[in-house]
Amino acid sequence: MSLFDAAGPEARSDAVRPLADRMRPRTLDEFLGQEALLGEGRALRRMIVEGRTGSLLLWGPPGSGKTTLALLIARHSGLCFEPFSAVTSGVKEVRDAVARADLAREREGRGTLLFVDEIHRFNKAQQDAFLPLVESGRIVLVGATTENPAFSVNRALLSRCRVVALRPLDETALARVVDPALTDTARGLGPLRLTLTEPARERLLLFGNGDARKVLTVLEAAASIASEGGTIDVEQIAEAAQHRALAHDKAGDHHFDLLSALHKSLRNSDVDASVYWLARFLAAGADPMQVARRLVAMAAEDIGLADPMALQIAVAALTAFQNLGLPEGRLPLTQAVIYLATAPKSRGVADAIDAATRAVETGREQEVPLHLRNAPTRLAKELGHGRGYRFAPDEPGHVAAMPCLPEELLGRAFYAPGDWGFERKVQERIADIEQRRRQSAGEEP
């Protein structure tokens, strides 16, 4: 039977347990910040109280309460609690846990909740090992993940588990975590009789960034700096925190959320938001080259010929960063972000290639018209390759009345320039070219 089966983590010695573990909620009423899921009358709360949650995947950021919620589910369901981490464990440990679960059922008639932290770290074969266990009812599986389960958990396992999404704790919930931690004499810092200044409280909640565990860890470190009966101030909080580690997972949702926020702010011509999201991305320690490449893509996708300089500036920023690195490389990236945010926007280039691609993929495979085919040999010329081709630079107006699309696609327009920025000039050029083509064909101007 697991160490956590009956009393939970409180069974361990308080002398070696960190504050965040000692202050872990013991009841659903103490569980803060997830009222939308666990408030009175909510379906999930009723299922937990009635012991019928079944297998779950708890998806949420660090410190949002995934482990604690799994513990509470086990207690309300009368289940043994078997925890392990996918970071340090493998299929062998799963088998050992299942053997203990079978023994608990045989000897005590109790089921087991198997809690797998960081379940997304298991590969497909390892995740598949849970399928027969869940289907047979030998265990109740509760997996915890910081990654979107739709991408990180295989479909077969996903279909057998309910996904519960937990949110980062807001400042109100974090404040309700701090107060009892300071005053609780049995589990918290109450015996030290410490006072937390209001500026220090604000800085602590800021450092927490929605993570209750981080808040309590910094508070405990600050308490060790302060003297008994003393006051914890801003300086002590800053010293305890050392530096604020911004949320970032280089291959996960948060990473791509930051890139998405930057791209969408640029697309919406919001200069200040664009610079802010660039700063967030860089401060989180992400690879700046990914931002640089995204700027190049955005310049072609969302600006295009509305401002042809946008692509040149984005490419120049990428090259400059390659040569400069950090910290100086932030400047050309910022310059490019500001330029792209203020540039006129057009989807004309992206829409043109998308429309042409659809025509290629959904229509018949069109033959290249004979007059456009290459004619490098006598045989090719005898077959008519190149016959009727007109060399545009020799034509009046430098435009030949010669179709270049396959016959079935004649008249199709894939590119539609806008009327803003340089594309207005492109629109005028296209109109002028069409007029000269009609003149070449002998039509009236």
Query: Do the beta carbons of residue 195 and residue 231 sit within 8 Å?
Result: yes
pLDDT-derived band of residue 168, with 50, 70 and 90 as boundaries?
confident
Q: Is the model more confident about 441 or about 400?
A: 400
Q: What is the pLDDT of residue 244?
A: 45
Q: Considering the domain boundaries, does residue 53 fall inside one?
A: yes
pLDDT-derived band of residue 1, with 50, 70 and 90 as boundaries?
very low
Q: What is the pLDDT of residue 314?
A: 96
Q: What is the pLDDT of residue 73?
A: 92
Same domain assignment for residues 25 and 149: yes
Residue 11: pLDDT above 70?
no
Q: What is the pLDDT of residues 276-316, one digit of tens each?
A: 999 988 887 777 888 999 999 999 999 999 999 999 999 99
Same domain assignment for residues 228 and 193: yes
Give whichever of 16-20, 197-201, 381-385, 412-416 has the largest mean pLDDT.
Answer: 197-201
- Find the range with the poorest average confidence among 105-114, 259-268, 407-416: 407-416
The two tokens of residue 48 are 């937990």
pTM tops 0.85, yes or no: no
Domain total in the chain: 4
Residue 113: pLDDT above 80?
yes
Average pLDDT across the chain, whole number: 85
Q: Considering the domain boundaries, does residue 350 fall inside one?
A: no
Q: Is the model more confident about 149 or about 295?
A: 295
pLDDT-derived band of residue 4, with 50, 70 and 90 as boundaries?
very low
Same domain assignment for residues 40 and 15: yes
pLDDT-derived band of residue 69, with 50, 70 and 90 as boundaries?
very high
Q: Show which of 179, 209, 241 is a domain's final residue.
A: 241
Query: Do the beta carbons of residue 167 and residue 140 sit within 8 Å?
Result: no
Same domain assignment for residues 25 and 136: yes
Mean pLDDT to the nearest integer, 319-324: 90
Query: Do the beta carbons of residue 437 and residue 430 sit within 8 Å?
Result: no
Residue 262: pLDDT above 50?
yes
Q: Considering the domain boundaries, does residue 403 fall inside one?
A: yes
Q: Considering the domain boundaries, does residue 363 fall inside one?
A: no
Mean pLDDT to the nearest integer, 198-210: 86
Same domain assignment for residues 291 and 375: no
Residue 319: pLDDT above 60?
yes
Residue 57: pLDDT above 80?
yes
Residue 5: pLDDT above 60?
no
Q: What is the pLDDT of residue 445?
A: 54
Q: Show which of 118, 136, 165 is a domain's final residue.
A: 165
Q: Considering the domain boundaries, does residue 266 fall inside one?
A: yes
Q: Considering the domain boundaries, does residue 361 fall inside one?
A: no
Same domain assignment for residues 428 and 375: yes
Q: What is the pLDDT of residue 129?
A: 84
Mean pLDDT to the nearest integer, 49-75: 90
Phi first, then psi, for residue 112 (nearest 5°) are: -135, 135
Q: Show which of 217, 241, 265 is a domain's final residue.
A: 241
Q: What is the pLDDT of residue 250?
A: 47
Residue 246: pLDDT above 60?
no
Same domain assignment for residues 289 and 314: yes
Residue 3: pLDDT above 50?
no
Same domain assignment for residues 156 and 279: no
Residue 365: pLDDT above 80?
no
Same domain assignment for residues 111 and 220: no
For residues 359-369, one letter each, b for 16 or more C-beta atoms within 10 angstroms of the residue's C-beta and e for the rest, the string is beeeeeeeeee
Q: What is the extent of the structural domain holding 35?
A: 8-165
Residue 117: pLDDT above 80?
yes
Q: Considering the domain boundaries, does residue 2 fall inside one?
A: no
- Taking alpha carbons only, the member of 289, 357, 290, 359 closest to residue 324 is 289
pLDDT-derived band of residue 66, with 50, 70 and 90 as boundaries?
very high
Cα–Cα distances in Å, from 239 out to 170, 181, 222, 233? 23, 19, 8, 10
**Residue that is written with structure tokens 């009723």 in the block:** 46
Same domain assignment for residues 149 and 23: yes
Q: What is the pLDDT of residue 16?
A: 65
Residue 247: pLDDT above 60?
no
Same domain assignment for residues 159 and 205: no
High-pLDDT (> 70) share of the chain, %: 93
Q: What is the CATH number of the domain that holds 71?
A: 3.40.50.300
Q: Considering the domain boundaries, does residue 270 fall inside one?
A: yes
Mean pLDDT to the nearest integer, 414-427: 85
Q: Is the model more confident about 382 or about 10?
A: 382
Q: What is the CATH number of the domain that holds 296?
A: 1.20.272.10
Same domain assignment for residues 105 and 124: yes
pLDDT-derived band of residue 128, with 50, 70 and 90 as boundaries?
confident
Q: What is the pLDDT of residue 144?
A: 92
The two tokens of residue 58 are 């708890």
Mean pLDDT to the nearest integer, 183-211: 89
